[in-house]
Structure 1
Amino acid sequence: MNPPKPPRPVKSISELLAATTARAIPVVRGVEAGALTAPTPCADYDVRDLINHLLHVVVNFQALAAKRDSDFSTTPDRVSAAGADGGGWQRLFADETDRLVAAWAAAGAEDGTTGTLGLPARTVGHMVLADLTVHVWDLARATGQAYRPDPDVVAELGPAVADMASMAREWEAFGEAVSLPEDATPFERLLATTGRDPRWSPAR
């Protein structure tokens, strides 16, 4: 009989975000200006819209880490403001995700509750971790890039995304779960829980 595996060490939200952004930044840098109008697995977003959404999420979750108010009422066009020439919005994404990691590393960031719904702070951290992980996959698929999320992030998000799925569908943030074959990978199952088809491509 094989001995039981030791329990997986619990990583902080900041550590998990650092692992995710390290893999996200190359994908965002790989998005060329000519691809900004391309479709993505999110039917309501083209590539520009999705990058603007991600930047909006990253900025607001910095505030949530500090137990400050967030504002998701409108999404600014940060891509246009930063400028496509010279990689303006690519640099902005790298800078803002660095700030996000630092915000969640601050003392007390994972303690208590945060946000208008008064959710546990670590649950809120899972929300931004999921947004970054899944939406960067969206961008990679939309622009023909490879993307492999960090295994520890996927292991952390699997049960967290399953727990938040019902609430996320009420908010229309997730679609209905997609059926997968039995040999689907953990990340494919995570994507399917959010309503995404892991086989999505622009041609489909």
Structure 2
Amino acid sequence: MTNDPRPLFARAAQQAAELIASVRAEQLDGPTPCTEFDVRTLLSHLTGGARRVAVVAEGGDAAAVRPFAEDVPDDGWTAAYDEARTRAVKAWAGDDLLDTVVRLPFGEMPGRAAVSAYVLETVTHAWDLSEALGHPRELDPELAEFALTVAQRMLPDEQRDENTPFASARPAPEGADVYGRLAAWLGREPLSRA
């Protein structure tokens, strides 16, 4: 586990931005492995999450920020996400924030743990989006390794319940890469298997 997850968050947000920029209008209503989201809803959630993590670093109330960006037109996702991720990366620039206790909708934790949780969220949803779009680009395996470590620490399978936003862990398919193992740990299946 890295002592400073901010560079990984910046890379994860960049990876998500590149995927978002590749979405075509006809793909917005398509399914994702996050079964309650279509592509449009997933873009809304990624953008809302980036806005939320910025507010956390800025000292605001994350619970007051909607987890979905409902104000973005279909042709505005790339710009909206770029604005939100740029704001988030800038907001976390101060080294003092890593040890500052921040409040997230699911509890209080040091800033480094909060950023790590958002790396997990961003990387996982980037995989969801990649699946939905038919794998338009190779995903960064180092990001998934970090996200899997965070997921195993923060989301042990035996502690999940109906309030956990992830399903029970599934066995990873034989020969699964690190994204496949991460998805399985979070109860997801590739669209081709779902």
Q: Which moved more, 1:96-105 or 1:162-171?
A: 162-171
In structure 2, distance between residues paired with 1:125 and 1:67: 14
Matched, 1:195 2:183: no
Match of residue 165 from structure 2:
173
In structure 2, distance between residues paired with 1:141 and 1:181: 15
Change (3 A) 1:75 1:65: closer
In structure 1, distance between residues paired with 2:65 and 2:83: 23
Q: Which amino acid aligns with 1:112?
A: T
Change (3 A) 1:37 1:195: same
CA offsets per residue over residues 140-172 of structure 1, 9 Å max, x none?
211223343333322322221101114883332
Match of residue 55 from structure 2:
63
- The answer to whether the 8 Å contact 2:44/2:69 transfers is yes
Change (3 A) 1:105 1:13: farther
Return 5+ residue gaps in structure 1 as ranges. Answer: 1-7
Name which of 103, 106, 111 aligns with 1:121: 111
- The answer to whether the 8 Å contact 2:3/2:112 transfers is no
Q: TM-score, normalised by structure 2?
A: 0.85
Name which of 186, 191, 201 aligns with 2:178: 186
CA offsets per residue over residues 72-99 of structure 1, 9 Å max, x none?
6745553xx33234xx221111121111
Q: Which amino acid aligns with 1:139?
A: L
Match of residue 21 from structure 1:
13
Change (3 A) 1:111 1:64: same
Name which of 139, 149, 156 aligns with 1:159: 149
SS in structure 1 at match of 2:63: coil
Match of residue 89 from structure 2:
101
Match of residue 5 from structure 1:
none
Give 1:106 deviation, angstroms.
2.3
Name which of 119, 125, 129 aligns with 1:135: 125
Name which of 125, 128, 136 aligns with 1:146: 136
CA offsets per residue over residues 166-188 of structure 1, 9 Å max, x none?
48833321111111245332332
- The answer to whether the 8 Å contact 1:66/1:109 transfers is no
**Fraction of identical pairs, as percent:** 26
- The answer to whether the 8 Å contact 1:40/1:142 transfers is yes
Match of residue 4 from structure 1:
none
